[in-house]
Amino acid sequence: MSRYLLQNSDIGLRLVDRFSRQHPLHISFSDAGFSYRLKRGGGKKEMIAKAVGVKPSLRVIDCTAGLGRDSFLLASLGCEVTMFERSKVMAFLLEDAINRAMANERLADTASRISLVHGDAIALLGRSRTPHVILIDPMFPIKKKSAQAKGEMQFLQRFIGKDEDASGLLRCAIATGSQRIVLKRPLSAIELDGFTPSFSLKGKSNRFDVFLQ
Ligand SMILES: C[S@@+](CC[C@H](N)C(=O)[O-])C[C@H]1O[C@@H](n2cnc3c(N)ncnc32)[C@H](O)[C@@H]1O
């Protein structure tokens, strides 16, 4: 019996972990928590918006789409976002969530500014038009129980594991010559592979390292 099961349900596609009592993983851009996050200050006060330097029509590649939250937030602020996701299952869940957002009058405009490509960003970056901004948010190492990620991110950590090649991805992003690369890291993490950012924005548990070139 395989542990994970991709299931069609009345709310859309969801991923079930048969070894856990946790809710199945389901991506929705219309759930109450995320809608509140989008509305709060129009999202512009979000650290990620400042790190990316959002403005309308900014072309952003999100190399690590995951649950698509960062991409959707940036698209809601007018950015044109291309998401890369290498997990086929996550890409299915994202595609399903974007299709539902396209059918939702309130979200369709934002969803229309997002495109999704399934594949590894390390390969895809070299074949893409250089964007204004590249965003990288790799899976962090799994923490001790007391400081574990919650909810959906905890599910994702279990399903995906740690992204061991994050420094290779950062190196590829820098090699594209993109003006701005934004790397999300745990607050106390050391610089990735000795790359020193131009500046960092610090939150309660994470920080954004920004590389300007
Ligand atoms: C921490 S999650 C990103 C969460 C995302 N920022 C959000 O707002 O939901 C990391 C995701 O990036 C994906 N990923 C990591 N390295 C990648 C790569 N080189 N190419 C494509 N996807 C990658 C993983 O499969 C995982 O789904």
**Which residues are paired to 82 by β-bridges?**
61, 115
- What is the pLDDT, as a whole number, of residue 36? 83
For residue 139, report the distance from its CA to the centre of ligand 1, in Å: 7
pLDDT in tens, the chain (213 residues): 799 999 999 999 999 999 999 999 999 999 888 888 887 755 667 899 999 999 989 999 999 999 999 999 999 999 999 999 999 999 999 999 999 999 999 999 999 999 999 999 999 999 999 999 999 999 977 665 545 556 888 899 999 998 889 999 999 999 999 999 999 999 989 888 889 999 999 999 899 999 999
75 lines ligand 1 (CB under 6 A): no
> Domain for residue 10, yes or no?
no
Helix axis angle, 69-76 relative to 32-39, nearest 10°?
40
**How far apart are the C-alpha atoms of 79 and 178, rounded to whole Å?**
16
- What is the pLDDT, as a whole number, of residue 41? 54
For residue 99, report the distance from its CA to the centre of ligand 1, in Å: 20
> Domain for residue 171, yes or no?
yes
> Domain for residue 23, yes or no?
no
> Domain for residue 19, yes or no?
no
> Domain for residue 59, yes or no?
yes
**How far apart are the C-alpha atoms of 213 and 210, rounded to whole Å?**
10
Task: Specify the number of domains making up the chain.
Answer: 1
Q: Residues near 187 by Cβ (< 8 Å), separated by ≥ 6?
A: 202, 203, 204, 205, 206, 207
- What is the pLDDT, as a whole number, of residue 142? 63
Looking at the CA of residue 119, tell me the nearest atom of ligand 1: 21
- What is the pLDDT, as a whole number, of residue 146? 46
Range of the structural domain that residue 60 is part of: 30-212
CATH number at residue 84: 3.40.50.150
> Domain for residue 157, yes or no?
yes
